[in-house]
Amino acid sequence: MRILFANDGIGDGGGVQVYLQAVIHALRGRGHEVAFLHVDPMREGATSPAGSAAPHFCVATGGDSAVRDALAWKPDACFSHNMSALRVDEALAARVPVVKMMHGYFGTCIGGEKVHKFPSMVACVRRFGIGCAALYLPRHCGSWSVGALSEQYAWARAQQGLFARYAAVVVASEHMRREYAGNGVPEQRLTVARLFATAGGTPHAGVTPDPFRVLFVGRMTAHKGGDALVRAIAHAQDTTGVRISATFVGDGPQRADWSALAERVGVEAEFTGWLDERSRDAQYQQAALIAVPSVWPEPFGLVGLEAGAFGVPAVAFDVGGIGEWLRDGHNGWLVPAAGGARALGAAIAAAVAERGALQAFRLRAWQVAQEMSRERHLDVIEHLLSQASNVEWA
């Protein structure tokens, strides 16, 4: 098959780019031809997930003719991802079957986070509609701006209007399947293709490092729950009498607040900033536990599976799609979000106290990561693209 990948960004180093690089490389290895259509220009010093040899079409420099040129390449199907410029998806869908992968709450939430931040931060379970606009400002669902509300609502409505134009919609979890089914995507055109870890190693069989170290990896924003994690570690230290350290990999607007909080409550915390792949993997290998304390409904929570590929068990709030890979009492601890920091802390305390269980969870975390393999994911994607294009592929 000739597969046109479409995404608004290129070479920005985010999770979608890592995903695209892995999938494109693997599909090319299966004998498919690949091209890449992107809206934004390539960042200086960055590399394309499709590699330099693939045809590239850039809307930022070529305008609408870039889309025409991409279609002139005669793709059998398009695999579209994050696309802020919806006119691109619309133009593609008019000429070629488009399989759309929804990496977030696009067309099902005005602000895209599916969370209310006032009076307290809780996941939103509403179906997208005009009623959401009435809640956007009072519940702090996004920017405190009428202009932002108007612009984001119009975009979400336009994205929702394209649902019927896609040949298939792919999501990473049953949670997201329910989200899109509840917002108008027909069940028969919705497919779950669980994500996969892009690296990994063998489960650590030795003694748990001292001090016991909890790892956080991700963007440091309020809905990622880093403050709850710091308080949870403090609670676990008080409960067990054991020193527990934390390493925060990443950056974001809450970094300084989380660091100050850790100092106030007596948690030894290191903030590394963003790390390259090799250094990040080294952090996985040295961690006793990966924490995913998100209070927003993560579409999947891939970081936990990434850590699991190195045999690192997880502790997380039971939100969104996290339960797809984290099985309570099997490969970690899944905590009710309503329990807050104390419940999260109790789970961390259990991990500290039950070293035998922790050791067993290491192997199971690795096994779950092997189950959710790239090959299984690709089998689903390849089938959908072949089905959409009516090109047989075996």
202 — pLDDT class (breaks 50, 70, 90): confident
Q: Is the pLDDT of residue 207 over 80?
A: no
Residue 143 is predicted with a pLDDT of: 85
pLDDT in tens, 294-314: 999 999 999 999 999 999 999
Q: What is the dihedral of CA 130, 115, 117, 157, to 10 degrees?
A: -30
Residue 303 is predicted with a pLDDT of: 95
Residue 204 is predicted with a pLDDT of: 67
Query: Closest by alpha carbon to 229, among 241, 205, 212, 245?
Result: 245
pLDDT in tens, 111-157: 999 999 889 888 899 999 999 999 999 999 988 899 999 999 999 99
62 — pLDDT class (breaks 50, 70, 90): very high
* More confident site: 14 or 99: 99
C-beta atoms surrounding 52 within 10 Å:
7
Determine the longest span between alpha carbons in the chain, in angstroms. Answer: 66
| Amino acid type, 79 | F
Residue 128 is predicted with a pLDDT of: 95
pLDDT in tens, 322-373: 999 999 999 999 999 999 999 999 999 999 999 888 999 999 999 999 999 9
What mean pLDDT comes out for the span 266-276? 95
Q: What's the 3-state SS for the chain? A: CEEEEEECCCCCCCHHHHHHHHHHHHHHHCCCEEEEEECCCCCCCCCCCCCCCCCEEEHHHHCHHHHHHHHHCCCCEEEECCCCCHHHHHHHHCCCCEEEECCCCCCCCCCCCCEECCCCCEECCCCCCHHHHHHHCCCCCCCCCHHHHHHHHHHHHHHHHCHHHCCEEEECCHHHHHHHHCCCCCHHHEEECCCCCCCCCCCCCCCCCCCEEEEEECCCCHHHCHHHHHHHHHHHHHHHCCCEEEEEECCCCCHHHHHHHHHHHCCEEEEEECCCHHHHHHHHHHCCEEEECCCCCCCCCHHHHHHHCCCCCEEEECCCCHHHCCCECCCEEEECHHHHHHHHHHHHHHHHHCHHHHHHHHHHHHHHHHHCCHHHHHHHHHHHHHHHHCCCCC
Residue in the structure block whose two tokens are 């040129």: 69
What mean pLDDT comes out for the span 379-390? 94
Residue 120 is predicted with a pLDDT of: 86
What mean pLDDT comes out for the span 371-386? 96
Of 90-94, 174-178, 207-211, least confident by mean pLDDT is 207-211
Q: What is the dihedral of CA 134, 252, 100, 365, to 10 degrees?
A: -120
Residue 200 is predicted with a pLDDT of: 82
206 — pLDDT class (breaks 50, 70, 90): low
Separation CA 61–CA 293 (nearest Å): 40
Separation CA 241–CA 321 (nearest Å): 33
Separation CA 147–CA 64 (nearest Å): 27
* More confident site: 91 or 390: 91
Give the residues across from 214 on adjacent strands. Answer: 246, 289
Separation CA 247–CA 242 (nearest Å): 17
Q: Is the pLDDT of residue 12 over 80?
A: no
Residue 11 is predicted with a pLDDT of: 83
Separation CA 256–CA 265 (nearest Å): 14
Q: Is the pLDDT of residue 14 over 80?
A: no
Residue 356 is predicted with a pLDDT of: 87
Separation CA 240–CA 351 (nearest Å): 10
Parallel, antiparallel, or unpaired: how do β-strands 2-7 and 33-38 relate?
Answer: parallel
Task: Look up residue 352 and give its two tokens.
Answer: 């500290």
Task: Look up residue 294 and give its two tokens.
Answer: 């998100």
Separation CA 361–CA 96 (nearest Å): 46
211 — pLDDT class (breaks 50, 70, 90): confident
- Mean pLDDT rounded to a whole number for the chain: 94
pLDDT in tens, 162-172: 999 999 999 99
Separation CA 164–CA 76 (nearest Å): 19
pLDDT in tens, 225-263: 999 999 999 999 999 999 999 999 999 999 999 999 999
CB-based burial label for 47 (10 Å; 0-12, 13-18, 19+): middle
Residue 225 is predicted with a pLDDT of: 96
Task: Look up residue 41 and give its two tokens.
Answer: 């220009």
Residue 203 is predicted with a pLDDT of: 75
Go through the chain and tell me how many residues it has: 394
Q: Is the pLDDT of residue 272 over 90?
A: yes
Q: What is the pTM of this model?
A: 0.93
Separation CA 302–CA 197 (nearest Å): 7
Residue in the structure block whose two tokens are 């993997």: 281
